[in-house]
Amino acid sequence: MSESSQKTRQRINELLDELPPPILLSVEHFVRFLRQQEPSMLGSGYPTVENPASSLSAWLDLVPEGYDGDALADTEVLYDEV
pLDDT digits (tens, 9 = 90+) for 5-63: 899 999 999 999 999 999 999 999 998 888 877 565 555 556 677 888 888 777 777 76
CA–CA distance, 69 with 59 (Å, rounded to integer): 13
pTM score of the predicted model: 0.41
Residue 55: predicted pLDDT: 81
CA–CA distance, 82 with 78 (Å, rounded to integer): 7
Residue 82: predicted pLDDT: 54
The HSE-up count of residue 53 (CA atoms within 13 Å, CB side) is 0
**Identity of the amino acid at 72:** L
Residue 60: predicted pLDDT: 73
